[in-house]
Amino acid sequence: MVGRYSSNPVRLFLAAVLLASSVHADEVDVAAAASLQDALRALAPLYEAKTHDKLVFNFGGSNALARQIQAGAPVDVFFSADEATLDSVPVTDRHDILGNRLLILGNLRTARRIALANPAAVPAGVYARRYLERIGLWREVEPKVVPTENVRAALAAFEGGNVDAAIVYVTDAPKLRGQVVEWDIRYPAAVVRDARHPAAARRFVAFLRSREAVAVFRRFGFTPL
């Protein structure tokens, strides 16, 4: 009986289908702040090897990503650079994952043009504006501000010589020297309420707090919370 069962082509086909189903991998769509790009790309192979899920990233300014999610973009996990932006999106299974610091490149007082991620909307720019307001410098530098789409664009403008100064995250420019500013910067991650793959999304959010992920984030200069 065993021999006849194992050689039956129909039953073998059904067994193969069931086996394939049991190891089915999900595709997890992750919308993440631009400043997380290097760390998450380094972390992805570890997660994919462990779970067999496939990570698909969409990096950008957190505010722009939130608008996309609100408009119905297919996103499973939102990893924002600030708490307020994540508050604007319906989510579940939310956790604060990382901390960061600001980095001032160049001399803000003598600079003619200063690149900031849009200080009216993008978290990096909002943090920078609040810091400058705190030290009483915002009114002086505001006319010189060149707003950019995200923090990586602000860094690119400085490195390309298009501006004389910029404020970015420490993690964006680890090899550049500047003034480091301690600030209350929190990166929360959460499962989007209408996620197409909620179970896989929860796995990924849990992994972000794992020992393996923490080691990667530390390597890129973030402070795991």
Per-residue pLDDT at 103: 98
CB-based contacts of 186, cutoff 8 Å, min separation 6: 82, 83, 96, 98, 99, 225
Q: For all residues of the chain together, what is the average pLDDT?
A: 91
For the segment 31-50, what is each residue's pLDDT rounded down to a tens digit?
Answer: 999 999 999 999 999 999 99
Q: Can you give the pLDDT at residue 8?
A: 57
Sign of the alpha-carbon dihedral angle for 100, 101, 102, 105: negative
Q: What is the pLDDT of residues 208-225, one digit of tens each?
A: 999 999 999 999 999 999
User: Domains (ranges, CATH) in the chain?
Assistant: 2-99+186-224 (3.40.190.10), 101-184 (3.40.190.10)
pLDDT at residue 16 is higher than 70:
no
pLDDT at 25: 75
For residue 21, pLDDT beyond 80: no
What is the structure's pLDDT at 7? 52
Q: Which tens digit of pLDDT belongs to each residue from 158-197?
A: 999 999 999 999 999 999 999 999 999 999 999 999 999 9
Half-sphere exposure of 17 (CA within 13 A, CB side): 6
State how far the Cα of 85 lies from the Cα of 64, in Å rounded to an integer: 10
Cβ proximity of 92 and 100 under 8 Å: no
CB of 46 closer than 8 Å to CB of 90: no
pLDDT beyond 60 at 58: yes
